[in-house]
Structure 1
């Protein structure tokens, strides 16, 4: 990987076992800053070097000409290989799928794996996963449409952007999350740190999970964290997860949905901290 293709990262903590966090769709490494600071604290998280990764087409990482899970896993593997030590990899949603692909293709790079509210399954691009009429339909296509519809040339303030997104993104938390990727372009304009045209075109690719190499299994410890109110992890997902990751342990977090680490940050961080203590002990 050349320098202009390298993934952008930020590391918190100067010593201790290495942990890397990978965000989901529309995210960036900075989304994990609060969790990272706690895990890096020797008095609280037992001291870790925590690397926060921006995936391609997000944050400060390069834009590409396609969205592909195997491509992203290979880029991430090259980054982790440069650490020269086993890593505990934590991935949410899209980042969880990237992390699972890496674990199945380069298990030697990992000490352990944490998969957050996603499974090695195919998800609907629109609609829901259950027959429950109250289940929220997949909102990501609508999010992209709403973000692309904002006239950045005429945008005055971030508050105006927030107002423009409100109809398509009613959750204050999710709007704030999306708007972290809206930044000033110079002194007068605005730009998205998201490659929205590409994500719109290839959104269908993100719903899938590429077939792993024949016979691939990750034998290391795996913590599978799900929001109890989320439909991204269903009972029907467990057989495939257990087939590919035989040492997996599922933890469901009460009163949390898909963004479990934002909706229940204390519970999430403590679950990860305890898991790290087990696998590093």
Structure 2
């Protein structure tokens, strides 16, 4: 997103945000192959007085990326000793085997599950499964993730 020259695109299309979106939908075809995902990302475009801009503060996200994506190491032995559900993607890379010891240490009552055929945005790839999984976890004291056909519990 940060590599897009929105000023040039805005000028090219006379500040017409719809035309800029259409142009990026085509331009990002290979980078973001899923058209629904492209459309979602492009909802972050804004327009004011003919100037096209990203609504998200990309510079802040970039400068704080390690804090955003990292696991806090300064918890000083604190433990959250209540049920917690971690939902991972089968094709994702953000909750891996190397993260499990820390998850178990800080959240000893955690359930860690993986949803089949999903990428990083599990809620986007499998919205019904995610909704049903979380609802079941919140409402059912004897929550059993193995009752879902496309969910695997990670022990």
Relative contact order (alpha carbons < 8 A, sep ≥ 6): 1 or 2 greater? 1
| Deviation string, structure 1 residues 57-103 (Cα, Å, up to 9, x no partner) | xxxxxxxxxxxxxxxxxxxxxxxxxxxxxxxxxxxxxxxxxxxxxxx
Q: Does 1:264 align with 2:123?
A: no
Distance 2:115 2:9 in 1: 38
Q: Which has the larger Rg?
A: 2
TM-score normalised by structure 1 residue count: 0.43
Match of 1:200 in 2: 62
Cα offset, 1:167, TM superposition: 4.4
Show the counterpart of 2:150: none
Out of 52, 75, 80, the residue aligned to residue 213 of structure 1 is 75
Give me the whole-angstrom Cα distance separating, in 2, the residues matched to 1:199 and 1:241. Answer: 24
- Pick closer, same or farther for the CA change 1:204–1:245 going to 2, 3 Å: closer
Counterpart position of 1:55: none
In the alignment, structure 2 segments of 5+ residues that lack a partner are 142-155
Alpha-carbon distance in 1 for matches of 2:30, 2:90: 26
CA deviation vs aligned residue, 1:170-218 (integer Å, no higher than 9, x gap): 33233222111112324x3322111122323333443422323312111
Q: Which runs of 5+ in 1 are unaligned?
A: 1-142
Q: What residue is the counterpart of 2:10 in the other structure?
A: 153
Secondary structure, in 3 states, of the residue corresponding to 2:111? Answer: strand
Distance 2:97 2:62 in 1: 30
> For residues 254 and 167 of structure 1, what CA distance do their matches in structure 2 show?
24
Q: How does 1:1-281 map to 2 (within 5 A)?
A: 143-145=1-3, 148-150=4-6, 151-154=8-11, 155=13, 156=16, 157=19, 158-186=21-49, 188-278=50-140
| Local SS of the residue matching 2:112 | strand
